[in-house]
Amino acid sequence: MERVPLVIGSVGALDHHDTGRGHPERPARLEAVTRGVELAHLHDAARPLEGRLARIGELARVHDELYLEALAQLAEAGGGELDPDTSMSGGSWATAQWSAGLGLAAIEALQRGEADAAFVAPRPPGHHATATRAMGFCLLNNVAVAAAALAEAGERVLIVDWDVHHGNGTQDIFWNDPRVVYVSTHEWPAYPGTGRASETGGLGAPGSTVNIPLPSGATGDVALAAIDEVVAPVVDAFSPTWVLISAGFDAHRDDPLADLMWSAGDYADLTRRLMAFAPEPGRVVAFLEGGYDLDALARSVAATVSTLAGAELRPEPATGGGPGREAVALAARTRAKLAELEGEPS
């Protein structure tokens, strides 16, 4: 198959995950993603990705098997509530398995040399799901399933999570795993309450978690500073072989669920920065997480996929001037302290 800049996978017509009337994490989000891809006018630069179901063994690398059985049984019974924000319908289990499989299919397509990058739009999102628990609209941790597959194959995986919420599930899953570095920028304090700068990884993988909590009102220039001043040195030391992006778009200023002030243009800049962390083309996969204003979601997806495809579309200019420089400086000091500790004999 001829190599293209970008492959794009979505749950699309296989989306049978019904969250109920009035829920922000709704099927129309995937239609907004499709609109965003159309807005990017990628033409021959992009091709649809053929997805597949994630197998139980692939999910069990990051999720407890009893938890997986419980999800399957709840769907079988027609669905139900898992926490105050998170529910399943009868079709949710199959949809979630397909969603988790999208990232695996994307990696396989890139490994076959079919594209320089991939963008996948799973639904439900994944980064709040822990090994044993659904929460925050998430059932299966899509990005973690993909990262675990790569890690098992001997790869060093960088996950950058720019969703406005902290990806507590992803952090938890890789807390003691030195094969995966997890980086998150997020509004703080906010749901789910984790993600302080002082959370830097467990005893099995000290320093492999990087949290950059940002105050309400923070603009895109602050996120870029975080990438340049805090993340880039970590990436230099880790030399990832793959870069996975937990690309939620709810830090957009129009999003109803949070109060950061980013724009679509900021997502273009962030995408470009993160692509530069990959050792070569064909090692970047971006995963949809949150993003609940449908127009902002479409514009942000357009900017992201166009950058991933090597083009330059900015439906909105980048933002600057908001608060958050102190938070970035604090995260940088936390890293410097860790590096000092590592340098000392124990």
- Taking CB under 5 A as the binding criterion, the range among 17-25, 156-164, 308-316, 333-341 that sits at the site for Zn ion is 156-164
Report the distance separating Cα 145 and Cα 324, nearest Å: 32
Nearest approach, Cβ of 129 to Zn ion (angstroms)? Answer: 13
The answer to the question of residue 85 lying near Zn ion (CB under 5 A) is: no
Tokens 């899953």 — which residue? 173
The answer to the question of residue 290 lying near Zn ion (CB under 5 A) is: yes
Query: What angle in degrees, to the nearest 10, is found between the helix axes of 65-76 and 92-111?
Result: 130
Determine which one of 17, 128, 186, 252 is catalytic. Answer: 128
Nearest approach, Cβ of 275 to Zn ion (angstroms)? Answer: 22
Selected binder of Zn ion within 85, 172, 250, 255 (CB under 5 A): 250
- Using the minimum distance from each CB to Zn ion, give the nearer residue, 163 or 254: 163
Nearest approach, Cβ of 156 to Zn ion (angstroms)? Answer: 26
The answer to the question of residue 17 lying near Zn ion (CB under 5 A) is: no
Instruction: Kindly report the length of the chain.
Output: 346
Which residues, at least 6 apart from 97, have a Cβ–Cβ distance to it below 8 Å?
Answer: 53, 54, 59, 140
The answer to the question of residue 187 lying near Zn ion (CB under 5 A) is: no
- Using the minimum distance from each CB to Zn ion, give the nearer residue, 290 or 315: 290
Query: What angle in degrees, to the nearest 10, is found between the helix axes of 92-111 and 142-152?
Result: 40
- Taking CB under 5 A as the binding criterion, the range among 43-51, 56-64, 165-173, 230-238 that sits at the site for Zn ion is 165-173
Reply yes or no on whether 63 is catalytic.
no
Q: In 3D, which of 148, 94, 103, 109 has the Cα closest to residue 122?
A: 103
Nearest approach, Cβ of 9 to Zn ion (angstroms)? Answer: 20
Q: Which residue is nearest to Zn ion (CB)?
A: 290
- Max CA pair span of the chain: 58
Give me 225's structure tokens.
């500073």
Size of the site for Zn ion (CB under 5 A): 5
Which residues, at least 6 apart from 149, have a Cβ–Cβ distance to it below 8 Å?
Answer: 58, 61, 104, 107
Selected binder of Zn ion within 128, 165, 252, 314 (CB under 5 A): 165
User: Left if phi > 0, otherwise alpha if psi is -120 to 50, otherwise beta: which for 144?
Assistant: alpha
Residue positions annotated with a catalytic role: 128
- For Zn ion, the binding residues (CB under 5 A) are 163, 165, 248, 250, 290
